[in-house]
Structure 1
Amino acid sequence: MSRIGLLGGTFDPPHWGHLWLAELARVELELDKVLFLPVGNPVHKQRRVITAVPHRLHMVSLAIQDNPHFVLDTTDCNRSAPHTTVTLLPLLRQAYPNADFWLLIGGDSLRDLPTWVEPTRLIQQCRLAVLMRPGAEIDWQDLETAVPGIETAVDLLDGPTLSISATAIRRWVQNGFEPTYLLPTAVAKYIQQNHLYAG
């Protein structure tokens, strides 16, 4: 059985926080690879304009190009809506029938898991690899009541956290600044060349 990490997200843009979570999980859980899964049309971000899929795919490709264990997977982008994790997993299972899956998330996502679509069904399909972040306190009793079985489905990652957000990067660029040191140089250059997030 291969061991595969799944890192989904809008990646608008991909940054060092995404890459660090993927590498930390890969090392600690001895994963064979981590799939970066850009979402096509995120159901929880309907209130803002999302950068076009081709731009986001290219930025992810640039971000992960130096790590042979990181793979861009376009399954979510290439399917019809709604784009939810619980409906994505069976498609990945078809592509990787002999794999154990870990969904890589932050502590804030774990805290908010009860608001996801069918979270109980979700944790029946994969384990959760969670990097806790300052301020994301978890009430395990309430979480277990909301999502039965969650406590035994979680592997907590032990490593430093990077408080970088794509929202902050977009705002920074919109205000006329360069996102140096917030994301890989190749991604920063691509943003500049294509005038992404410009005010």
Structure 2
Amino acid sequence: MKIGLYFGSFNPIHIGHLVIANHLQQFSDLDQVWFVVSPQNPFKEKASLANDYDRLHLVNLAIENYPHLMASNIEFNLPIPSYTIDTLVVLKEKHPEHDFSLIMGMDNLKSFHKWKNHEQILKNYSVYVYPRIGSEPGQWENHEKFHFIDAPIMEISSTFIRQALKEKKNIQPMLPDEVWEYLDGSSMYK
């Protein structure tokens, strides 16, 4: 089975994440997309992160009606910060029957050369890239391992969502219904 790995903090997951994941699963050769919930991205601060299991729960709520989207907590038991290459090695050991690929926004391409063992990633894995406003493929444009997907451009950020929740704004249309209902009745992000 061909699995696309969509890494992120999903802090919280929003409709932009769902649209991208569903589009990639439906309009590429990926059989499934797994949301890999990261305890800590090496390039981000941990201070604003909600609890790992709360974020995982929100992802599970968001995808319960999408049979080809899955949630993974594989990084919860790995050293922090999480490095993609380490997660890929563990996933391949646990699931040798799957063919894993990465999913990333085009904005991540400009720093991809700084990723730990990025050459090894490109040697062993394909990368599905979705567009972001103001981002270009750059040096990776003609690389055989990169697949540039014409997915919808979603300019919603989790940072914006968290700030709006603190300010008691109605952002219900930006969140999957199940996530909105959960957050509306909780103190998370308030």
1:21–1:104 CA contact under 8 A, matched in 2: no
Aligned residue runs from structure 1 range 25-36, under 5 A:
25-36=24-35
Structure 1 alignment gaps of length 5 or more: 145-149
In structure 2, what is the equivalent of residue 119 of structure 1? 118
Structure 1 residue 121: Cα displacement: 1.6
Structure 1 residue 45: Cα displacement: 1.6
**Is 1:154 aligned to 2:146, yes or no?**
yes
Distance in 1, Cα, partners of 2:117 & 2:47: 24
In structure 1, what is the equivalent of residue 108 of structure 2? 109
Structure 1 residue 111: Cα displacement: 2.4
1:40–1:78 CA contact under 8 A, matched in 2: no
Structure 1 residue 180: Cα displacement: 1.0
1:47-78 residue CA offsets vs partner (Å, 9 max, x unmatched)? 63310112101100111111011111111112
**Is 1:77 aligned to 2:102, yes or no?**
no
Q: TM-score, normalised by structure 1?
A: 0.89
State the SS of the aligned residue for 1:172: helix
Amino acid at match of 1:185: D
2:24–2:151 CA contact under 8 A, matched in 1: no
**Cα distance change on mapping 1:96 and 1:47 into 2, 3 Å:** closer
Structure 1 residue 169: Cα displacement: 0.6
What is the aligned counterpart of 1:170 among 162, 172, 178?
Answer: 162
Amino acid at match of 1:48: A
Distance in 2, Cα, partners of 1:163 & 1:82: 26
Amino acid at match of 1:6: L
Distance in 1, Cα, partners of 2:19 & 2:169: 23
Structure 1 residue 162: Cα displacement: 1.1
Structure 1 residue 186: Cα displacement: 0.9
In structure 1, what is the equivalent of residue 182 of structure 2? 190
In structure 2, what is the equivalent of residue 147 of structure 1? none
Structure 1 residue 119: Cα displacement: 1.4
Q: TM-score, normalised by structure 2?
A: 0.93
Structure 1 residue 159: Cα displacement: 2.6
Amino acid at match of 2:137: I
1:148-194 residue CA offsets vs partner (Å, 9 max, x unmatched)? xx711101111321111101111111111132111101111211222
2:34–2:70 CA contact under 8 A, matched in 1: yes
In structure 1, what is the equivalent of residue 2 of structure 2? 3
**Cα distance change on mapping 1:47 and 1:35 into 2, 3 Å:** closer
Runs of 4+ in 1 over 3 A off after TM superposition: none
Structure 1 residue 98: Cα displacement: 2.3
Structure 1 residue 118: Cα displacement: 2.0
